[in-house]
Chains A and B, each alone.
Chain A
Amino acid sequence: MAGNNKQAQHNHRKVMSRADLSKRLVGKLKNDEAVIGGIGWTNFELWGAGFRPQNFYMLGSMGLAFPIAHGVAIAQPNRRVFGLEGDGSLLMQIGALGTIASRGPKNLVMIVWDNGAYQITGGQPSTSATVADLVGLARASGLEKAFWADDEAHFDKLIDRSLSEDGPFFIAAKIDSQKPAATTHRDPVQIRERFMRGLGVRKEPHAL
């Protein structure tokens, strides 16, 4: 009975394009901000938004984009760190939000692409398609700066805020099911080494 009637409020929002929002985000990064792209189409779209040495692409470890971003934010408190995650992935590791809220890293920004589905595995609906409100979950986990992006202009504004104000920020957008045009190049050692060089942790080895 109630089960059929669970099109919650959070689903009456503008559905945007992940490709467009990923490009808008990357276009605003001017200070070598770190970006962690979660499993699947989240990181394909980040790859498609253009090469940056400060991008890290996950090839597995579903749900760990925010924990990895949290770790980078702890190690480099003066750099802004973005985690990009799909709704299915976030739901798998939802406890991470409380850990982040309890520690309050000021330089961490979490972005969720909510298509209400496990899209890359065949589009099976996730609970955010119906009952689960991801921003509600974030707020209830203690993240005060947790917002839905109402439209593209609002998304831009929220990103601007997250780049200038203290975080942690949690920004979620309802997105469509468009397949990314690009596929991440799957070379984990190369991804990790480039990322560490992009963060200034390592340099190209050379003789003195």
Chain B
Amino acid sequence: MNSADPNGQRAWYEIVRDVLKENDVRLVTYVPDNVLSPLMKALHEDPFFTTFCCTREEEAVGIVTGAWMGGMLGVVLMQTSGFATLPNALASLAVPYQIPLLMIISERGSLGEFNLGQAMVCRTMRPSLDSMGIEHHTLRRLDEVAFIVDRTISQAVSTQAPAALILNALLTGGKVEKKEK
């Protein structure tokens, strides 16, 4: 599920990379996450993108916001717990200043989560997004990835509004506990 198959079907992270490129999203900032690591690797390996790790998700949001105002579109990659640190930066910067801040969030905390902390944090994500009026879509199916990512980016830019793409375990496989044999 996590890698390109021999029939030429692109993996989810290859589709995301390609659609970001088609939409001229050149800057990628992130705080690491296991599920997102193949996407982070693919973006690092492609010189089209300027990709680097930040110390906090808020910092990553600030950088992408500044770059947008300077004429370069970007995206912030994070996990659910990283999103939970962001409402202040979103509600006092990205939303009121009308920034098309793109967020790709890997969804930890549901469908087999083993850490109650992650599960609780996950429950805050969609209500937070809704309370700020931020458009968000959950990606579950490989055949929908290209369409949803492409349309979300173009709408964010046209309407000058932040948007979030949530990558569900049905798409990525998520993260499950390794059981002792």
Against A, the Cβ 8 Å flags (1 = close, 0 = not) of B153-175 are 00000000000000000000000
Bound-state CA distance A195–B65 (Å) is 12
Q: Check A75 against B71 for contact (C-beta < 8 Å).
A: yes
Contact string, A93-125, partner B, CB cutoff 8 A, digits 1/0? Answer: 101101100110000000000000000000000
- Whether, in the assembled complex, B66 has its beta carbon less than 8 Å from a beta carbon of chain A, the answer is yes
Query: In whole angstroms, what is the CA distance A74 to B26 when docked?
Result: 11
**A residues in contact with B27, CB < 8 Å:** 71, 74-75
Would B98 and A99 count as touching, CB distance under 8 A?
no
Chain A contact-residue range equals 35 or more
Of A36, A96, A195, the contact of B59 (CB 8 Å cutoff): A96
User: Considering only CB atoms, which chain A residue lies closest to B64 in the complex?
Assistant: A71
In the bound complex, how far is the Cα of B92 from the Cα of A60, in angstroms? 5
User: CB of A63 within 8 A of chain B?
Assistant: yes
Per-residue CB contact flags for chain A residues 183-208 toward chain B (1 = under 8 Å, else 0) read: 00000110110011001110000000
Q: Are A72 and B59 in touch, CB under 8 angstroms?
A: no
Shortest CB-to-CB span from B8 to chain A, Å, is 35
Complex: A59 Cα to B95 Cα, angstroms: 12
User: Least Cβ distance of A121 to chain B in Å?
Assistant: 15
> How many angstroms from the CA of A55 to the CA of B98 in the assembled complex?
17
Chain B residue with the shortest CB-CB distance to A187: B96
Count of chain B residues near A, Cβ 8 A: 32
Q: Give complex CA distance A58, B88 in Å.
A: 13
Q: Does A67 contact B (CB under 8 A)?
A: yes
Q: Are A93 and B64 in contact (CB under 8 A)?
A: no
Q: Which residues of B contact A192 (CB under 8 A)?
A: 69, 97-99
- In contact, B69 and A196 (Cβ under 8 angstroms): yes
Q: Is the CB of B96 within 8 A of A74?
A: no
Chain B CB within 10 Å — which of A68, A99, A189, A196 has the most? A68
Shortest CB–CB separation between residue A124 and chain B, in angstroms?
19
Q: Do residues A68 and B71 form an inter-chain contact, with CB atoms below 8 A?
A: no
Q: How far is the CB of A60 from chain B (nearest CB, A)?
A: 2
Q: B73: shortest Cβ distance to chain A, in Å?
A: 9
Residue on B nearest A196 in the bound complex, by CB: B69
* CB atoms of A74 and B67 under 8 A apart: yes
Other-chain residue from B62, B70, B93 in contact with A76 (beta carbon distance below 8 A): B70
Closest CB in chain B relative to A189 CB, distance in Å: 6
Q: Is the CB of A71 within 8 A of B74?
A: yes
**Whole-angstrom distance between the Cβ of B119 and the nearest chain A Cβ:** 27
> Given A64-B59, A192-B99 in contact, is the A74-B71 Cβ separation under 8 Å?
no
Give, as a whole number of angstroms, the nearest-CB distance from A42 to chain B: 15
In this assembly, does A69 line the interface, its C-beta being within 8 Å of a C-beta of chain B? yes
Which residue of the partner chain, among A36, A68, A99, A195, contacts B52 with CB atoms under 8 Å? A99
| Given A67-B59, A99-B59, A201 and B99 contact (CB-CB distance below 8 Å) | no
| Interchain CA distance A26-B118 in the complex, whole Å | 47
Interface pairs (25), CB distance under 8 Å: A58-B93, A61-B88, A66-B62, A67-B58, A67-B59, A67-B62, A67-B65, A67-B66, A68-B69, A71-B62, A71-B63, A71-B67, A71-B68, A71-B72, A72-B66, A72-B69, A74-B50, A74-B66, A75-B67, A75-B68, A93-B56, A96-B62, A99-B53, A189-B98, A195-B69
Shortest beta-carbon contacts, A-B, top 3: A60-B92, A71-B66, A67-B62
